Each structure stands twice: as C-alpha cells, then as structure tokens.
Amino acid sequence: MLEILSLPPIMKGLIVITVAGLTFPLAGLYLFRLNLLPMRFMLMHGAILGGSVALAFQINPFWTTIGINILLVVFMSRSSRLLKMDLGHISMFFMVITISLAFIFIYKFNVPAQDTLTLLWGNLYVLSWVEVTGIGIFSLALVGFQYFFRRHLRALFFDREVAFTSGFNESLFYYIVVMVVAITVALAMKLIGALLLDAILLLPPIVATFHAKSLKGMIIGSVLWGGVFAAGGFLLSVAIDIPASSAVAALACLVFIVMYLTRKK
Amino acid sequence: MDHSLIVTQNDKVIFTSNQHWLYPLFELEDFLKQHPIDASELFLRDKIAGRAAACLMVYLGIRHCHVGLISQRALSVLDLHNVSYTYDRLVDQIQCRTENMIDDEMSISDAYLLLRKRAGRVKGLPVKLDAVSLQMEEKRLLDKVDLFVDRGEQLVIHGSNGVGKTTLLRAILGFVPLVSGTIKVGDYEVGSSAWKKNRSMVAYIHQESIKNGFPITAGEVVKIGLGNSRLTRNDAEMKVEVAMRRTGSFYLYDQLYNTLSGGEKQRVSIARCLCQNAGVFLLDEPTSFLDQRGKDDLLELLYEVIHNEAPTMILVSHEHQWAQRLQWKSMELKGGAFC
C-alpha cells in the first residue's frame, strides 16, 4: 500500500482530499444550517453547464465550472432580492434553466455528453498542480473566513433577524456565505464528484450534531470528521481497490449510522 | 469650596459634589458602585433636600444625614425609613416640580426610577411613530398611527391575533417597509444610513427564537449581543458573565440553548439584549411558550431589568391578564389604530 501511496498522483490525491476533508465541512455547515440544500442541487446542474461550456469552447473545465457557479449564485441572489422570492424557489428555477442550457450546449457544439457527465463522478487523480494550489489557497481562505468572522457567522447561524438587530451586516454575510458554499461545492465536485460530494460537505456536520455541545464543538467536530472521512476513505480505497469517492462516502455513511444508533441508545 | 454635598466616613471626607438638584446624589450612587463601602456607615451633608432627595438617600442606603434646608415631606420619608437626621431649617415644601410627582403611595424603588428618568439617567431611548401606515400584502394593518414612548418608559401593546402587533415591532426594527410616515428611535430615523450604523440600539426578542434547534450554548447566544464591538476576549467574557448573572442565567452558560425551558430561554435572550447595550427592548409575545411559573419569573425579571437598566420597553402580548400584572402603560391595537 505504501508503494501505491508513493506514486505522485496518488500522494497528491491523498493530500488534496485530506485538506478538503479538513476544511470543506465548514461550508457544509453553512449549507446545512442556512438550509441551502436546493442551492446545492442547482450548483450540481451548474457544474454540468460549466463542463459543457468548457468542452464546447475547449477551455479548462475546473475554472469554468467554478466561474459559472459563482455567476449563478450572483444571479440567483440578485433575483431573490429583486423578486422578493425565497432562495429555495429561485434555486429550483435556476436548476431547470442551467440543465436546459447545458443540453443546448451539448447538442449545438457536439459535445460528448459522457465527457460532461464524468463531472458527476469527479476525478481526484488528474488534478494539475495549479488546481491543487487553488484548492489549497481556497481551503486556507475558508479557515480564515471562519476564524475571523466567527462572531458574524455565529449570529447568522442563530437567527438572521437577531444578527441584524445585533448590528451585523447579515445580508452581506449571507451573500458571502452563499458564495463560499458555491465555490466549495464546485471544488468538491471536482474532487469526489457531484453525486458523492455530500460525504465531505454535509455528513461531517450532521454527524457532529450527534455529539456537539456547542457551536464551537460542532465546528471542530465537523472538520475532524471531514478529515477522518476523507483520509480514511482514501486509504480504504487504495487498500481494497475501490473508487476513492465511493470509499469516502461509504465510510462517512457507516460512521453516520453508527453514531446515529449510538445516539439512539 | 462650598460643596453642595459632602459625604464622610468616620469623620473623613470621602466624597464631595458641586452639582445641583439631584445630581450630587446620583454621582454618589456612581461612587458607591465603584467602591465597596457600606452606605449605612456614611454621614451625608446636603444643602437642600425635598421628598425626591430623601427617597434617593433611602434608596442608596444612607442612615445618617444633616440637611441645611429640608421639607416636611422629606422628613416623613426619612422618618418612615428610620434615617437619623438633623437640619438647620424646615419648610413645608421645596419649590420643585419633582416634589409633587412623588406621592405617598409610591415605593422607594418606583420613586428612584421616576427620578432617574427625570434626571435623564436611563439607558432607554425614545421611540416615536409619526403617521405610520403599514400594510401586509393587501391588508392595511396600521393607518396613520402616532405613538410616543419616552426614554425609559414601558408600554404593552395588546390586541387580538392578526391586528398587526408583531408587524409594528418589526417596522420599528426596520424589517417592514412603511407605506407612509416615519419612525424614530432616539435621534435616528429608521431606515436612514445613520440608523443602519446604530441599529443595535434596539434589541429584539421574538417568538421564533424559542424554536432554534441548532447546537449553540446559552453563553454563545449571549455573546451574539456583543455584536461588532472590539473587546478583548477577557472583556467580552466578563460582559457576558455580568449580563447572565444579572438575569440569573449564568448557571446555564454551557448548556445547549435548545435544551432550555421557555423561561430559561427568555432569561438568556434578555441577557443577550443587556450585552447588546440596547436602549430599546422589543419583546414579541414573550409568554408564548411559558407555563405559569415561567410567566411569574419573566415578570420578576423584567421588573429587575427596568430598575437596573431602565431601558425603553415595548412588549406585544395577547395575554391581557398577564400584561396587566406588569402595571405598564397599556394600549390596544384594533382596526389599524390604537384605542
């Protein structure tokens, strides 16, 4: 196993997935607490649109996907504010429009649909060093954001109206948080795929709620569980030769079930 | 220098003031808060004392005094509370409006609160609604309503469900746009850029916060009240502790907010508002999730907060009987107007 791990793409994959596992659950926590799940599905469709656009114009799908998801979040937030509509409803509208646009691109530019859909599986081993650096910088920024704005986030998580009356610029922070979630979802999609990204985004904070005794405890628990799922799942995949994303998701689900049953007792 | 107030302890002068009216006594109150001195051991020399000054002396715990010019009404207060006194000259009444505002029925603590308001020594800010109209979807809830709640004053707004009580509070907070009219809190018009910078002057306790199921401790909830204030970790912790002790909720510091009873949550929420240093407290149906004991506790807590902080409070409730026990000024909202 050590021999396999010493291979550069595998080693790079282990480092990236561990870093992501230790940091991305922070965005999962925002997603979970602020009930942004419809938006997470919209972003998944946004990734398919990004992939089809990138393949149609022969540009980097990694950055295109991130760019398109950021644009979608900007449009969505603006529309939600202008139309005074719930973000969930707007997300559903954007979900439909993005997938229809994706298929228009696939059809009109003769993009191989299968190549676009590979985004749903992710590809941890083909990351370039630029992409790895990008993920590393974003992970650091995510940790910094959580640390320096912990008071804002605490207020936002507790209650948006209380946050507003306590003097926090909650609407700006909500917007920033949505943006952070969008970038994280796009990155996680690249790492373990759209179908399984919840394993490092959502399951760690959900498992942390089983034992957390405070918000601080929940944050620490989320990132630790994320690290365990990501690194443990990756090593498991190498050991028994299964896809890394599936191993990460399987391990996360197993821990979730054990924690849930233990909690029940 | 000829001081208006001199306070001695064992014949040693420990405090003097040259202020006028009741301010020397309020300055003494501040002095006593900062120094661990038993007020009953002090001897106070005041130039003039009417009923208001006598009530303040009793409130501060002064047991011995000498007054240059004293009113008959002040003597009755000092006699009633066993304060030993001497004086140079006795008159029927001091020519001061405050003298007549404190009647025989008024308790010392109520008199103290009244005097604090008169002296402008309250944390509360005035709230003024000027011809305010509010609408929710197609329904007109308020129609050109005027309202003035003075600094440090308390008001209960009651009325049946759906008349717009909560919407009115939310308009004061800036959550609901006005159809017409203006709302001012202190010197700031709600919605203005100056108000946006100072909006933490209004604290809010709403019904829904009770339902929050996220793992957050009571201490963390109270910390939200600190807002953006740049305090050191120790100062922040100290402020949270003081606020929680004042509301008797410090023992809940490490407990999860969602496991607390309705009454405990209200204590924690009020501690959050104290931490926020708010001048106006808006409470929306605070008894909604409380049993009888919780309601009694809340009554006592609000009473304590008013006496210690004297914030302006506007409370919305459809529980008329409970609200009557507060003995606050009360107004009914009906048909888009106050009756």
- Alpha-carbon distance of B156 to B169, in angstroms, equals 12
Helix or strand run (H / E) with residue B66: strand B64-71
* Tens-place pLDDT, residues B252-298: 999 999 888 888 888 899 999 999 989 999 999 888 878 888 888 88
B280 touches B311 (CB < 8 A): yes
Helix or strand run (H / E) with residue B153: none
B39 plus B133 within the same structural domain: no
| Mean pLDDT value across chain B | 87
B99, B118, B137 - which closes a domain: B118
Q: Return the SS3 of B23.
A: helix
pLDDT attached to residue B224? 94
B333 plus B218 within the same structural domain: yes
pLDDT attached to residue B208? 57
pLDDT attached to residue B106? 84
B148 plus B240 within the same structural domain: yes
Interface of A with B in 96-155 (CB under 8 A): 151, 154-155
Q: How many domains does chain B have?
A: 2
B248 plus B104 within the same structural domain: no
Nearest to B220 among A163, A165, A214 (CB): A214
B86, B118, B150 - which closes a domain: B118
Examine the pLDDT at B230 and tell me if it is beyond 90.
no
Tell me which chain B residue has its CA closest to the CA of residue A165: B200
pLDDT attached to residue A195? 67
Task: Report yes or no: B177 at the A interface, CB cutoff 8 Å.
Answer: no
Interface of A with B in 31-60 (CB under 8 A): 33
HEC letters along chain A: CHHHHCCHHHHHHHHHHHHHHHHHHHHHHHHHHCCCHHHHHHHHHHHHHHHHHHHHHCCCHHHHHHHHHHHHHHHHHHHHHHHCCCHHHHHHHHHHHHHHHHHHHHHHCCCCHHHHHHHHCCCHHHCCHHHHHHHHHHHHHHHHHHHHCHHHHHHHHHCHHHHHHCCCCHHHHHHHHHHHHHHHHHHHHHHHCCCCCHHHHCHHHHHHHHHCCCHHHHHHHHHHHHHHHHHHHHHHHHHHCCCHHHHHHHHHHHHHHHHHHHHHC
Contact residues on chain A for B175, CB-CB shorter than 8 A? 161, 164
User: Between A and B, how many residue pairs show a Cβ–Cβ distance under 8 A?
Assistant: 81
Tell me which chain B residue has its CA closest to the CA of residue A151: B224
pTM of full prediction above 0.90: no
Tell me which chain A residue has its CA closest to the CA of residue B255: A213
pLDDT attached to residue B222? 95
pLDDT attached to residue A264? 58
Tell me which chain A residue has its CA closest to the CA of residue B257: A214
- Alpha-carbon distance of B111 to B107, in angstroms, equals 6
Tell me which chain A residue has its CA closest to the CA of residue B214: A158
Task: Tell me the pLDDT of chain A (265 aa) as tens digits.
Answer: 777 777 878 888 888 889 999 999 999 999 888 888 888 888 888 888 888 898 889 888 878 888 898 898 888 888 888 887 877 788 888 889 998 998 898 888 888 877 777 766 777 777 788 888 888 999 999 999 999 999 999 999 998 889 999 999 888 898 899 889 888 888 887 777 776 788 888 899 999 988 888 999 999 999 999 999 999 999 998 889 888 888 888 999 999 999 888 875 5
B305 plus B189 within the same structural domain: yes
Question: Which residues are within 8 A (CB) of A9 and not within 5 positions of it... i.e. 6 or more apart?
Answer: A125, A126
Cα B93 to Cα A86, B54, B57, B69, B263: the distances in Å are 66, 13, 18, 10, 46
pLDDT attached to residue B211? 60
* Tens-place pLDDT, residues B6-55: 999 988 999 998 888 888 998 998 888 888 888 888 999 999 999 999 99
Interface of B with A in 104-163 (CB under 8 A): none
B146 plus B169 within the same structural domain: yes
Residue B104 structural domain: 5-118
* Tens-place pLDDT, residues B99-151: 778 887 888 888 888 888 888 777 889 999 999 998 887 788 888 889 999 88
B208 plus B314 within the same structural domain: yes
Please report, for the domain that includes residue B185, its CATH number.
3.40.50.300
Whether B217 and A215 lie within 8 Å, measured CB to CB:
yes
Shortest distance between the Cα of A83 and any Cα of chain B, in A, equals: 14
Whether B225 and A166 lie within 8 Å, measured CB to CB:
yes
Question: Which residues are within 8 A (CB) of A182 and not within 5 positions of it... i.e. 6 or more apart?
Answer: A39, A43, A69, A70, A72, A73
Contact residues on chain A for B202, CB-CB shorter than 8 A? 165
Examine the pLDDT at B207 and tell me if it is beyond 80.
no
B186 plus B303 within the same structural domain: yes
A201 touches A122 (CB < 8 A): no
Average pLDDT of the segment spanning B155-176: 89
Exposure of B325 in the CB half-sphere (CA atoms within 13 A): 14
B288 plus B147 within the same structural domain: yes
Q: Angle A160-A33-A209 (CA atoms, 0-180°, nearest 5)?
A: 130
Contact residues on chain B for A159, CB-CB shorter than 8 A? 206, 208-209, 212
Query: Best of B188, B199, B214, B265 to disrupt the A interface by mutation (most A CBs within 10 Å)?
Result: B214
Whether B214 and A157 lie within 8 Å, measured CB to CB:
yes
- Alpha-carbon distance of B328 to B315, in angstroms, equals 10
Please report, for the domain that includes residue B26, its CATH number.
3.40.140.30
B32 plus B98 within the same structural domain: yes
Task: Report yes or no: A160 at the B interface, CB cutoff 8 Å.
Answer: no
State the DSSP code for B106.
S
Shortest distance between the Cα of B5 and any Cα of chain A, in A, equals: 41
B138 plus B89 within the same structural domain: no
pLDDT attached to residue A152? 92
A193 touches A84 (CB < 8 A): no
Q: State yes or no: ipTM above 0.85.
A: no
B167 plus B313 within the same structural domain: yes
B87, B118, B149 - which closes a domain: B118
Examine the pLDDT at B210 and tell me if it is beyond 60.
no
Backbone angles phi, psi at B116, to 5 degrees: -60, -40
Shortest distance between the Cα of B297 and any Cα of chain A, in A, equals: 23
Shortest distance between the Cα of A215 and any Cα of chain B, in A, equals: 5
Exposure of A95 in the CB half-sphere (CA atoms within 13 A): 14
Whether B173 and A165 lie within 8 Å, measured CB to CB:
yes
Shortest distance between the Cα of A212 and any Cα of chain B, in A, equals: 7
Whether A161 and B204 lie within 8 Å, measured CB to CB:
yes
